[in-house]
Structure 1
Amino acid sequence: MATVSPPWAYTLQLPHDPRAPGIARATLRTVLAAHDLAGLTPTAELLASELLTNAHLHTRGPYALRVRSAEPNRLRIAVWDSDCEIPPAFTPGGARAGVRPETAETGRGLHLVQACADSWGAHVLGSARGGKLLWAECGHESAQR
């Protein structure tokens, strides 16, 4: 008899602190191990790291990491922050916008997300909390790329 795992989600609220992205990555590894998804760790950690770093570098307030099961063996990793501006790389037609010269030391993170994720997107949130949500999905097939 097949066992169906119920959907799950975890949200980690983070202060604007340089240690927060590292704490979030450690939490992500623990969550994936607890749900027998350790095989997704390298891809999921890269996606989370880039989204978290973007939130930390480009906003002044708190941010949050949300990880949820999208379907069996798939994850959606999302990062909320208080800034309503969607980065150019996450806007329609903006996949190539803002590509940095090879000598630049920054500016490639969201392009890495696009390259490593099965799907990705962004939403401006109109609720009382406001801000935006950047998300990326990955599954076992993307972990083997």
Structure 2
Amino acid sequence: MVTVAPCDTWAYALRLPHDPRAARVARMTVRSVLDSHGRVEARDTVALLTSELVTNAYRHTKGPASLRITALADGRLRVGVWDSHPRIPAPFGEPPQDRVPLAPVDVEGGRGLRLVQEYADRWGGWPLGDGPLDRGAGKLLWFEVGGL
């Protein structure tokens, strides 16, 4: 008799208000979800990269954002962040803008998407519609880490 073990797949979604605390809430949520599913090996990396995407959503839009954390059947974790701004930044866009340059050492910001480029196994982005920003337009940026 062959038994089929269920895949350890799951997904969580969180809507985040346009609030400076949204990145902290996203980090805490990711850590809690990964801890509860026994994925502590990926916790710090996923929390850091999630925080960077949510921070950018806050800094570059005036509206809410959405976060989705998904465990895929092959052991990878995928995190997607939707926001209302339509521009796809490097490294999520198409070449030749697919690499983020190093930020100058004397500036305070500009390192978040470089972190995604360095620590995620895969990443991408999609524009979502072409209507006004309050009608569902925007983008989805995602990254994946891990695998068993």
TM-score (norm 1): 0.87
Bigger radius of gyration: 2
Which residues in structure 2 correspond to 1:65-104 (within 5 Å)?
Answer: 65-92=67-94, 93-96=96-99, 99-104=102-107
Q: Does the 8 Å CA contact 1:28/1:45 hold for their aligned counterparts?
A: yes
Look up the SS of the partner of 1:53 in the other structure.
helix
Q: What is the aligned length?
A: 141
Any gaps of 5 or more consecutive residues in structure 1?
A: none
RMSD: 1.9
User: Which amino acid in the other structure matches residue 102 of structure 1?
Assistant: V
Alignment pair present for 1:45 and 2:40: no
Query: How many angstroms apart in 2 are the aligned matches of 1:7 and 1:89?
Result: 27
Any gaps of 5 or more consecutive residues in structure 2?
A: none
**Residue aligning to 2:21:** 19
Query: Could you tell me which of 122, 127, 133 is aligned with 1:119?
Result: 122
Look up the SS of the partner of 1:9 in the other structure.
strand
Query: How many angstroms apart in 2 are the aligned matches of 1:111 and 1:80?
Result: 19
Query: How many angstroms apart in 1 are the aligned matches of 2:116 and 2:86?
Result: 19
Query: How many angstroms apart in 1 are the aligned matches of 2:42 and 2:76?
Result: 8
Alignment pair present for 1:138 and 2:141: no
Q: Does the 8 Å CA contact 1:121/1:135 hold for their aligned counterparts?
A: yes
1:97–1:47 Cα change, 3 Å:
closer
User: Which amino acid in the other structure matches residue 95 of structure 1?
Assistant: D
Shift of 1:2: 6.3
User: Which amino acid in the other structure matches residue 38 of structure 1?
Assistant: V
